[in-house]
Structure 1
Amino acid sequence: MTIVGIDPGVSGAICVLRDGKITMICDMPIMIDGTKSKRQINAAELANILINQKLNFEDKVILESVSAMPGQGVTGMFSFGQSFGVIKGVCAALKLSLHLVRPVKWKKHFNLLNSEKDASRTKVIEMYPYIASEVSKKKDSNKADAILIAKYFYENLPK
Protein backbone atom coordinates (compact mmCIF):
# COMPACT_ATOMS: atom_id res chain seq x y z
CA MET A 1 0.00 0.00 0.00
CA THR A 2 1.11 3.52 -0.78
CA ILE A 3 0.50 6.33 1.68
CA VAL A 4 0.89 9.99 0.74
CA GLY A 5 1.45 12.35 3.67
CA ILE A 6 0.72 16.03 3.08
CA ASP A 7 1.71 18.96 5.25
CA PRO A 8 -0.65 21.63 3.83
CA GLY A 9 0.00 25.25 2.95
CA VAL A 10 2.26 27.05 0.50
CA SER A 11 5.27 26.13 2.61
CA GLY A 12 4.06 22.54 3.03
CA ALA A 13 5.39 19.28 1.63
CA ILE A 14 4.43 15.92 0.18
CA CYS A 15 5.83 12.51 1.15
CA VAL A 16 5.16 9.10 -0.41
CA LEU A 17 5.60 5.94 1.66
CA ARG A 18 5.50 2.57 -0.05
CA ASP A 19 5.39 -0.31 2.42
CA GLY A 20 6.79 2.02 5.09
CA LYS A 21 9.74 3.25 2.99
CA ILE A 22 10.07 6.80 1.71
CA THR A 23 10.06 6.80 -2.08
CA MET A 24 9.46 10.51 -2.69
CA ILE A 25 9.61 13.74 -0.73
CA CYS A 26 9.17 17.26 -2.12
CA ASP A 27 8.08 20.75 -1.22
CA MET A 28 4.52 21.76 -2.05
CA PRO A 29 4.45 23.04 -5.65
CA ILE A 30 3.67 26.75 -5.69
CA MET A 31 3.20 29.58 -8.14
CA ILE A 32 3.00 33.35 -7.92
CA ASP A 33 -0.52 34.80 -7.99
CA GLY A 34 -1.24 38.31 -9.25
CA THR A 35 0.78 41.48 -9.12
CA LYS A 36 1.46 41.34 -5.38
CA SER A 37 3.61 38.22 -5.81
CA LYS A 38 1.50 36.19 -3.41
CA ARG A 39 2.37 32.51 -3.39
CA GLN A 40 -0.32 29.89 -3.83
CA ILE A 41 -0.42 26.14 -4.40
CA ASN A 42 -0.03 25.15 -8.03
CA ALA A 43 -2.99 22.76 -8.28
CA ALA A 44 -2.02 21.44 -11.73
CA GLU A 45 1.49 20.55 -10.58
CA LEU A 46 0.15 18.96 -7.38
CA ALA A 47 -2.16 16.83 -9.54
CA ASN A 48 0.80 15.85 -11.75
CA ILE A 49 2.84 14.80 -8.71
CA LEU A 50 0.00 12.63 -7.43
CA ILE A 51 -0.78 11.17 -10.88
CA ASN A 52 2.90 10.26 -11.37
CA GLN A 53 2.74 8.16 -8.19
CA LYS A 54 0.28 5.81 -9.97
CA LEU A 55 -1.98 5.56 -6.94
CA ASN A 56 -4.89 3.11 -6.91
CA PHE A 57 -8.11 2.70 -4.92
CA GLU A 58 -6.44 1.06 -1.90
CA ASP A 59 -3.78 3.78 -1.51
CA LYS A 60 -4.36 6.62 0.95
CA VAL A 61 -3.68 10.34 1.04
CA ILE A 62 -3.29 11.68 4.57
CA LEU A 63 -3.74 15.43 4.97
CA GLU A 64 -2.98 17.26 8.18
CA SER A 65 -6.24 18.83 9.34
CA VAL A 66 -5.36 22.19 10.79
CA SER A 67 -7.43 25.10 12.01
CA ALA A 68 -6.96 28.74 12.92
CA MET A 69 -4.11 29.50 15.29
CA PRO A 70 -4.06 32.31 17.85
CA GLY A 71 -2.27 35.39 16.58
CA GLN A 72 -2.52 34.48 12.91
CA GLY A 73 -4.00 37.25 10.79
CA VAL A 74 -7.22 37.04 8.82
CA THR A 75 -5.43 37.24 5.47
CA GLY A 76 -2.98 34.50 6.45
CA MET A 77 -5.76 32.20 7.63
CA PHE A 78 -7.77 32.80 4.46
CA SER A 79 -4.73 31.95 2.35
CA PHE A 80 -4.07 28.83 4.40
CA GLY A 81 -7.70 27.73 4.13
CA GLN A 82 -7.58 28.26 0.39
CA SER A 83 -4.48 26.04 0.18
CA PHE A 84 -6.21 23.36 2.25
CA GLY A 85 -9.20 23.50 -0.09
CA VAL A 86 -7.02 23.24 -3.20
CA ILE A 87 -5.40 20.06 -1.86
CA LYS A 88 -8.78 18.53 -0.99
CA GLY A 89 -10.14 19.51 -4.42
CA VAL A 90 -7.22 17.95 -6.31
CA CYS A 91 -7.59 14.71 -4.31
CA ALA A 92 -11.34 14.64 -4.98
CA ALA A 93 -10.85 15.27 -8.71
CA LEU A 94 -8.34 12.40 -8.86
CA LYS A 95 -10.73 10.17 -6.84
CA LEU A 96 -8.10 9.55 -4.17
CA SER A 97 -8.96 8.19 -0.73
CA LEU A 98 -8.37 11.23 1.51
CA HIS A 99 -8.06 11.00 5.29
CA LEU A 100 -7.57 13.91 7.69
CA VAL A 101 -5.39 13.72 10.79
CA ARG A 102 -5.16 16.39 13.47
CA PRO A 103 -1.66 17.59 14.36
CA VAL A 104 -2.16 16.62 18.01
CA LYS A 105 -2.77 12.97 16.99
CA TRP A 106 0.41 12.40 14.98
CA LYS A 107 2.57 14.57 17.22
CA LYS A 108 1.42 12.68 20.32
CA HIS A 109 2.18 9.37 18.56
CA PHE A 110 5.80 10.49 18.04
CA ASN A 111 6.13 12.23 21.45
CA LEU A 112 6.41 15.65 19.80
CA LEU A 113 3.66 17.51 21.66
CA ASN A 114 4.89 20.86 23.01
CA SER A 115 8.28 20.34 21.36
CA GLU A 116 10.24 22.68 19.14
CA LYS A 117 9.27 22.80 15.44
CA ASP A 118 12.71 21.37 14.66
CA ALA A 119 12.07 18.21 16.72
CA SER A 120 10.23 16.57 13.81
CA ARG A 121 13.39 16.79 11.67
CA THR A 122 15.41 15.08 14.39
CA LYS A 123 12.79 12.33 14.73
CA VAL A 124 12.77 11.71 10.96
CA ILE A 125 16.57 11.53 10.79
CA GLU A 126 16.54 8.93 13.59
CA MET A 127 13.89 6.85 11.77
CA TYR A 128 15.20 7.31 8.22
CA PRO A 129 18.92 8.13 8.33
CA TYR A 130 19.21 7.57 4.57
CA ILE A 131 17.22 10.74 3.88
CA ALA A 132 19.05 12.98 6.36
CA SER A 133 20.27 15.21 3.52
CA GLU A 134 16.64 15.81 2.45
CA VAL A 135 15.75 17.28 5.85
CA SER A 136 19.09 18.83 6.78
CA LYS A 137 17.96 22.48 6.82
CA LYS A 138 15.68 24.17 9.34
CA LYS A 139 13.24 25.04 6.52
CA ASP A 140 12.85 21.29 5.84
CA SER A 141 10.63 20.81 8.88
CA ASN A 142 7.70 20.81 6.42
CA LYS A 143 9.13 17.68 4.76
CA ALA A 144 9.70 16.06 8.14
CA ASP A 145 6.09 16.79 9.09
CA ALA A 146 4.80 15.24 5.84
CA ILE A 147 6.90 12.12 6.50
CA LEU A 148 5.60 11.79 10.06
CA ILE A 149 1.99 12.33 8.96
CA ALA A 150 2.34 9.43 6.50
CA LYS A 151 4.26 7.30 9.01
CA TYR A 152 1.61 7.90 11.69
CA PHE A 153 -1.09 6.54 9.39
CA TYR A 154 1.11 3.60 8.33
CA GLU A 155 1.81 2.61 11.94
CA ASN A 156 -1.88 2.85 12.87
CA LEU A 157 -3.32 0.77 10.04
CA PRO A 158 -5.32 -2.23 11.25
CA LYS A 159 -3.03 -5.27 11.12
Structure 2
Amino acid sequence: MIIVGIDPGVSGAISILREGKVSMICDMPIMIDGTKSKRQINAAELANILIKENIGEDDKIILESVSAMPGQGVTGMFSFGQSFGVIKGVCAALKLPVILVRPVKWKKHFNLLNSEKDASRTKVIETYPYIASEIARKKDSNKADAILIAKYYFETQGN
Protein backbone atom coordinates (compact mmCIF):
# COMPACT_ATOMS: atom_id res chain seq x y z
CA MET A 1 0.00 0.00 0.00
CA ILE A 2 1.12 3.51 -0.83
CA ILE A 3 0.43 6.23 1.73
CA VAL A 4 0.40 9.89 0.72
CA GLY A 5 0.80 12.40 3.53
CA ILE A 6 -0.34 15.95 2.83
CA ASP A 7 0.36 19.04 4.89
CA PRO A 8 -2.22 21.38 3.29
CA GLY A 9 -1.88 25.02 2.37
CA VAL A 10 0.19 26.95 -0.13
CA SER A 11 3.34 26.42 1.93
CA GLY A 12 2.47 22.78 2.61
CA ALA A 13 4.02 19.62 1.23
CA ILE A 14 3.32 16.14 -0.13
CA SER A 15 5.10 12.94 0.88
CA ILE A 16 4.76 9.38 -0.35
CA LEU A 17 5.56 6.29 1.70
CA ARG A 18 5.94 2.94 0.00
CA GLU A 19 6.29 0.00 2.39
CA GLY A 20 6.88 2.53 5.17
CA LYS A 21 9.84 4.18 3.41
CA VAL A 22 9.84 7.71 2.00
CA SER A 23 9.90 7.45 -1.79
CA MET A 24 8.99 11.05 -2.66
CA ILE A 25 8.72 14.41 -0.95
CA CYS A 26 7.95 17.79 -2.51
CA ASP A 27 6.59 21.21 -1.74
CA MET A 28 2.93 21.80 -2.51
CA PRO A 29 2.70 22.86 -6.17
CA ILE A 30 1.58 26.47 -6.35
CA MET A 31 0.79 29.09 -8.95
CA ILE A 32 0.25 32.83 -8.84
CA ASP A 33 -3.28 34.17 -9.19
CA GLY A 34 -2.62 36.67 -11.98
CA THR A 35 -5.03 39.35 -10.81
CA LYS A 36 -3.76 39.75 -7.26
CA SER A 37 -0.36 38.03 -7.29
CA LYS A 38 -1.56 35.69 -4.54
CA ARG A 39 -0.22 32.16 -4.30
CA GLN A 40 -2.66 29.29 -4.60
CA ILE A 41 -2.43 25.54 -5.04
CA ASN A 42 -1.93 24.43 -8.63
CA ALA A 43 -4.64 21.76 -8.85
CA ALA A 44 -3.50 20.45 -12.25
CA GLU A 45 0.07 19.98 -11.05
CA LEU A 46 -1.11 18.29 -7.85
CA ALA A 47 -3.12 15.86 -9.98
CA ASN A 48 -0.08 15.30 -12.24
CA ILE A 49 2.09 14.42 -9.23
CA LEU A 50 -0.44 11.88 -7.94
CA ILE A 51 -0.90 10.35 -11.39
CA LYS A 52 2.85 10.23 -12.11
CA GLU A 53 3.42 8.48 -8.78
CA ASN A 54 0.75 5.87 -9.70
CA ILE A 55 -1.46 6.67 -6.72
CA GLY A 56 -4.67 4.66 -7.07
CA GLU A 57 -7.95 3.81 -5.38
CA ASP A 58 -6.31 1.19 -3.13
CA ASP A 59 -3.82 3.69 -1.75
CA LYS A 60 -4.47 6.16 1.07
CA ILE A 61 -4.33 9.96 1.08
CA ILE A 62 -3.81 11.20 4.63
CA LEU A 63 -4.70 14.89 4.80
CA GLU A 64 -4.08 16.99 7.88
CA SER A 65 -7.37 18.47 9.04
CA VAL A 66 -6.56 21.91 10.41
CA SER A 67 -9.07 24.33 11.88
CA ALA A 68 -8.94 28.06 12.52
CA MET A 69 -5.90 29.35 14.35
CA PRO A 70 -6.05 32.31 16.73
CA GLY A 71 -5.12 35.58 15.04
CA GLN A 72 -5.23 34.21 11.50
CA GLY A 73 -7.97 36.50 10.26
CA VAL A 74 -10.87 35.98 7.91
CA THR A 75 -8.94 36.35 4.65
CA GLY A 76 -6.20 33.96 5.73
CA MET A 77 -8.71 31.39 6.90
CA PHE A 78 -10.68 31.64 3.65
CA SER A 79 -7.49 31.17 1.64
CA PHE A 80 -6.50 28.14 3.71
CA GLY A 81 -9.99 26.66 3.35
CA GLN A 82 -9.80 27.15 -0.40
CA SER A 83 -6.48 25.26 -0.49
CA PHE A 84 -7.95 22.46 1.60
CA GLY A 85 -10.91 22.24 -0.80
CA VAL A 86 -8.65 22.13 -3.86
CA ILE A 87 -6.75 19.16 -2.41
CA LYS A 88 -9.97 17.31 -1.55
CA GLY A 89 -11.40 18.11 -4.99
CA VAL A 90 -8.35 16.80 -6.85
CA CYS A 91 -8.43 13.59 -4.81
CA ALA A 92 -12.17 13.17 -5.41
CA ALA A 93 -11.73 13.68 -9.16
CA LEU A 94 -9.01 11.00 -9.18
CA LYS A 95 -11.21 8.70 -7.02
CA LEU A 96 -8.61 8.61 -4.26
CA PRO A 97 -9.74 7.92 -0.69
CA VAL A 98 -8.97 10.81 1.68
CA ILE A 99 -8.55 10.21 5.40
CA LEU A 100 -8.44 13.27 7.63
CA VAL A 101 -6.15 13.37 10.65
CA ARG A 102 -6.07 16.15 13.22
CA PRO A 103 -2.64 17.62 14.03
CA VAL A 104 -2.98 16.75 17.72
CA LYS A 105 -3.35 13.04 16.83
CA TRP A 106 -0.19 12.62 14.78
CA LYS A 107 1.86 15.03 16.90
CA LYS A 108 0.91 13.18 20.09
CA HIS A 109 1.88 9.87 18.47
CA PHE A 110 5.40 11.24 17.84
CA ASN A 111 5.64 13.14 21.16
CA LEU A 112 5.69 16.48 19.34
CA LEU A 113 2.82 18.23 21.13
CA ASN A 114 3.83 21.73 22.27
CA SER A 115 7.23 21.37 20.61
CA GLU A 116 9.03 23.74 18.27
CA LYS A 117 7.97 23.65 14.60
CA ASP A 118 11.45 22.36 13.73
CA ALA A 119 11.10 19.31 16.01
CA SER A 120 9.29 17.38 13.28
CA ARG A 121 12.24 17.90 10.95
CA THR A 122 14.62 16.49 13.56
CA LYS A 123 12.33 13.48 14.11
CA VAL A 124 12.23 12.71 10.37
CA ILE A 125 16.01 13.02 9.98
CA GLU A 126 16.47 10.55 12.87
CA THR A 127 13.98 8.11 11.32
CA TYR A 128 14.90 8.52 7.64
CA PRO A 129 18.53 9.73 7.50
CA TYR A 130 18.67 9.04 3.74
CA ILE A 131 16.41 12.05 3.06
CA ALA A 132 18.18 14.48 5.41
CA SER A 133 19.42 16.58 2.47
CA GLU A 134 15.84 17.04 1.23
CA ILE A 135 14.70 18.54 4.52
CA ALA A 136 17.92 20.30 5.51
CA ARG A 137 16.50 23.85 5.67
CA LYS A 138 14.38 25.21 8.52
CA LYS A 139 11.64 26.02 6.01
CA ASP A 140 11.41 22.31 5.14
CA SER A 141 9.45 21.62 8.34
CA ASN A 142 6.27 21.33 6.24
CA LYS A 143 7.89 18.49 4.28
CA ALA A 144 8.74 16.81 7.57
CA ASP A 145 5.14 17.27 8.73
CA ALA A 146 3.85 15.62 5.53
CA ILE A 147 6.16 12.65 6.11
CA LEU A 148 5.05 12.27 9.73
CA ILE A 149 1.37 12.52 8.74
CA ALA A 150 1.87 9.55 6.39
CA LYS A 151 4.03 7.69 8.91
CA TYR A 152 1.37 8.17 11.59
CA TYR A 153 -1.16 6.36 9.41
CA PHE A 154 1.35 3.65 8.49
CA GLU A 155 2.14 2.96 12.14
CA THR A 156 -1.43 3.09 13.44
CA GLN A 157 -3.55 1.77 10.54
CA GLY A 158 -1.43 0.74 7.59
CA ASN A 159 0.33 -2.41 8.79
SS in 1 for 2:62: strand
d(CA) in 1 for partners of 2:31 and 2:117? Answer: 25
TM-score normalised according to structure 2 size = 0.98
Query: Aligned partners of 2:86, 2:158: CA distance in 1, in Å?
Result: 29
> How far 1:143 moved relative to its partner?
0.2
| Amino acid in structure 1 at the alignment position of 2:40 | Q
2:124: which partner in 1?
124
Tell me the residue number matched to 1:134.
Answer: 134
Match of 1:53 in 2: 53
SS at match of 1:148: helix
Structure-to-structure mapping, 1:56-71, within 5 angstroms: 56-71=56-71
Please list the CA deviations of residues 93-122 of structure 1 after superposition, one character each: whole Å capped at 9, or x if unmatched: 000011000000000000000000000000
Q: Confirm whether residue 149 of structure 1 aligns to residue 149 of structure 2.
A: yes
* Structure 1: stretches of 5+ with no match in the other structure: none
Aligned residues: 159
* Structure 1 residue ranges (4+ consecutive) displaced by more than 6 angstroms after TM superposition: none
Structure 1 position 57, deviation (Å): 2.3
Aligned counterpart, 1:80: 80
- Rounded Cα–Cα distance in structure 2 between residues aligned with 1:67 and 1:96: 23
* AA at the equivalent of 1:88: K
CA gap 1:43/1:123 in 2 versus in 1, 3 angstroms: same
* Secondary structure, counterpart of 2:50 in structure 1: helix
Q: TM-score scaled by structure 1? A: 0.98
CA shift, 1:158, in A, is 5.9
CA pair 35-57 structure 1, distance change in 2 beyond 3 A: closer
Alignment partners' CA distance in 2, 1:101 and 1:153: 9
TM-superposed CA distance for 1:89, in Å, is: 0.2
Letter in 1 for 2:59: D
What is the alpha-carbon distance in structure 2 between the residues aligned to residue 128 and residue 91 of structure 1? 27
The code of the aligned residue for 1:43 comes to A
Distance 1:11 1:68 in 2: 16
Q: Secondary structure at the match of 1:156?
A: helix
Q: Distance in 2 between matches of 1:92 and 1:57?
A: 10
